[in-house]
Structure 1
Amino acid sequence: MDNILQITDTFIEENTLFPELISELKQSFSNNEVLVPLRHHHDFPNPEVNSDSTLLLMPAWKPSDIAGVKIVTVSPENSRYHLPAIQGTYIYFDALKGTIKAIIEAKALTVKRTAAASALASSFLSREDSNALLMIGTGALSINLIKAHAAVRPIETVYIWGRQFKKAQAIASQLKNETFAVHPIPTLEEKISKVDIISSATLSKTPLVLGKYLKPGQHIDLVGAYKPDMREADDDTIKKASVFIDTYQGGLKESGDIFIPLQSGVLKEKDIKADLFELCSNQKSGRKNIEEITLFKSVGHSLEDLTAATYYYNKFKNE
């Protein structure tokens, strides 16, 4: 047990290069070396805050090589305790011997791999000349999504909106030294039609991305709304867009953005264009033309966690 590495959020924050992590994810999604069972998803009540929390167990194995499991809780009311909604840890194993190689703090690992997956999808789905981004949400993911998207597209202008304008202002301040300009905005409607990429990472149960405001050629990146009763985009958005998901395994049923339109008939499973496995292995293509509206829905996948854990483990070992 003495040889188990402890990899902190601080190390991850200081040693992430999004182009590298995106490249690692692309490689992982392009082959079938990792076995990924369906993640465990358990909701449990917390009467004190009148809200459910969620326990997620996300395992993955590369036989005779590496394995890992992420244990995460999602508590939507954590803002009242001045804590992030996501808490957890990642246990990284030697798959052959079953020994633990590292324990990795999961908060930073999760937001980094999630943002990298969105940027990977954007590299297939957004227009190559996309230079304006709207970020909806001011949680831990927002800064990472902005930076990740800027790693694959020539982003010059970023607008950020949150339910609390002060949080949007704070994020703009944190990003003041980046190569792009960041502007907090008080209302969404004014900018939805003015940008090339819309990225949303919220726990909203009512749609924030409304199809009536969309324009041809946009790319929509939906990262929040991780439960079937949560939703970030409305039916009109789904009708107007070519829909892509991270994986069929979880993407079809874990989030209301896809689950609700499937249940109502607004979207049919056969209409979903591709997942990341198909895009990265060139089995299917992404954006077809400059006028197409594309939509990517991410619910997260254990392959992303194992890939990110390996990336950070190797960086830590090679210090």
Structure 2
Amino acid sequence: MKVYDAAAVRAALPWPVLIRALSEAHRGPVPASDVVVQGDPAGSGNQFITLPGWLAGGPVAVKMVGVFPANEKLTPPQPNVQGLVAMFDGSTGAPLLVADGAAMTERKTAGDSALGASLLARDDAEMLLIVGAGALAPHFAEAHMAARPSLRRVMIWNRTAHKAVAVAAQLRAGGIDAGAVSDLDAAVRQADVISCVTMSDRPLVKGALLKPGTHLDLVGAYMTELRETDDDALLRSRIFVDTRRGMENTGDLGQALASGLISPDAIAGDHFDLAQGRVQARQSSEEITIFKNVGGAHLDVFTAIALFEAG
């Protein structure tokens, strides 16, 4: 059985390798998957989530993660989300690997959005805006730049300005031209690719400000009460998802579907449609595209397989 700590996960799955593996995985069948969410019986609000997935004729992968929002206030601070991913042989049940759950989630989530950008963003996109400066922000910047090598500069915006400054400094230390910005509306007007990785409960990106040809990646609104963009953006855009399963339970799409602003038919396609050629990706240089990162255990399966094969 192989064991991977966080550093080993990142070393084995550089962004180009992972993006290519995810693209190839979506050309095959959808793994069976489920999710079990348990709340702390003591009423703390903490959660433990188990996500099993099984690829027909392939392995079983199970992600086990705790969501403990107060962890960042500990001394020393700990990640709010941490756990393990385990993979088992689908024929015998034998354990094949165990990997750091936070690193696997980081790779899976950013790689998923980066695959979307590789298919939907313009080939000549140059300006990337990351909205949010949490732990995932630098990984999303790196993943998008790997997916779209034409990107040459990264802008970071966050409600708490000093966090944006810190993420920009981290990216510059890695050789990326990055800077913090204070005016979100102005940054939205400039950006060719926008990736929102926040916990916002109100729209941040205004659809009216999106210039023709923009690609908007929505990640953080994973519950229906959360929101990262407004109705204008949804109505102006051609909308894609990684998976339709569970999309009605996400913030931006869930609210729009429930209100009737858009119908399920407004979703042009998912990663499986795009990878298997059932749906055309970007149709013109002027088209605005939205990719909603819904997530799911099937992506944990694909990422675990990629790790096993790479390592």
Q: What band does the TM-score fall into relative to the shorter chain? A: over 0.9
2:233 is matched with 237
- Structure 1 residues 276 and 44: CA distance shift in structure 2, 3 A: farther
Letter in 2 for 1:14: A
Task: Give 1:303 shift.
Answer: 2.2
2:191 is matched with 195
Matched position secondary structure for 2:33: coil
Letter in 1 for 2:66: T
- Structure 1 residues 203 and 78: CA distance shift in structure 2, 3 A: farther
2:50 is matched with 57
Q: What is the CA–CA distance in structure 2 between the aligned matches of 1:16 and 1:219, rounded to whole Å?
A: 25
TM-score (norm 1): 0.90
Following TM superposition, the consecutive aligned residue runs of length 4 or more in structure 1 with deviations greater than 6 angstroms are none
- Structure 1 residues 208 and 43: CA distance shift in structure 2, 3 A: farther
Identity of aligned residues (%): 33
2:269 to 269, 274, 280: 274
| Structure 1 residues 81-160: aligned runs within 5 Å | 81=74, 82-153=77-148, 154-160=150-156
Residue 184 in structure 1 maps to residue 180 in structure 2: yes
| Structure 1 residues 167-182: aligned runs within 5 Å | 167-178=163-174, 180-182=176-178
| Structure 1 residues 8-19: aligned runs within 5 Å | 8-19=5-16
CA offsets 1:249-308 (integer angstroms, 9 cap, x no match): 122x22111100101111111111001110111110111111111000012122221121
2:22 is matched with 25
Letter in 2 for 1:60: G
- Structure 1 residues 243 and 65: CA distance shift in structure 2, 3 A: closer
- Structure 1 residues 280 and 115: CA distance shift in structure 2, 3 A: same
TM-score (norm 2): 0.93
Task: Give 1:103 shift.
Answer: 1.5
Q: What is the CA–CA distance in structure 1 between the aligned matches of 2:123 and 2:233, rounded to whole Å?
A: 22
Matched position secondary structure for 1:206: strand
1:294 to 289, 296, 299: 289
Q: What is the CA–CA distance in structure 2 between the aligned matches of 1:76 and 1:208, rounded to whole Å?
A: 22
Aligned length: 308
1:304 to 274, 299, 308: 299
- Structure 1 residues 152 and 59: CA distance shift in structure 2, 3 A: same
- Structure 1 residues 83 and 186: CA distance shift in structure 2, 3 A: farther
Q: What is the CA–CA distance in structure 1 between the aligned matches of 2:13 and 2:60, rounded to whole Å?
A: 21
1:260 to 255, 264, 288: 255
Asked if structure 2 preserves the Cα contact closer than 8 Å seen for 1:63 and 1:96, the reply is no
Task: Give 1:13 shift.
Answer: 2.5
Q: What is the CA–CA distance in structure 1 between the aligned matches of 2:288 and 2:93, rounded to whole Å?
A: 46
1:73 is matched with 66
CA offsets 1:27-84 (integer angstroms, 9 cap, x no match): 111111x522243345558765xxx444332211124431111012333443323332
Letter in 2 for 1:315: A
Matched position secondary structure for 2:25: helix
What do you get for the CA RMSD once the two structures are aligned?
Answer: 1.9
Asked if structure 1 preserves the Cα contact closer than 8 Å seen for 2:169 and 2:179, the reply is no
Letter in 2 for 1:115: A
- Which residues of structure 2 form unaligned runs of 5+? none
- Which residues of structure 1 form unaligned runs of 5+? none
- Structure 1 residues 54 and 205: CA distance shift in structure 2, 3 A: farther
1:207 to 203, 227, 231: 203
Q: What is the CA–CA distance in structure 2 between the aligned matches of 1:130 and 1:45, rounded to whole Å?
A: 48
CA offsets 1:125-147 (integer angstroms, 9 cap, x no match): 11110010000111221111111
- Structure 1 residues 309 and 131: CA distance shift in structure 2, 3 A: same
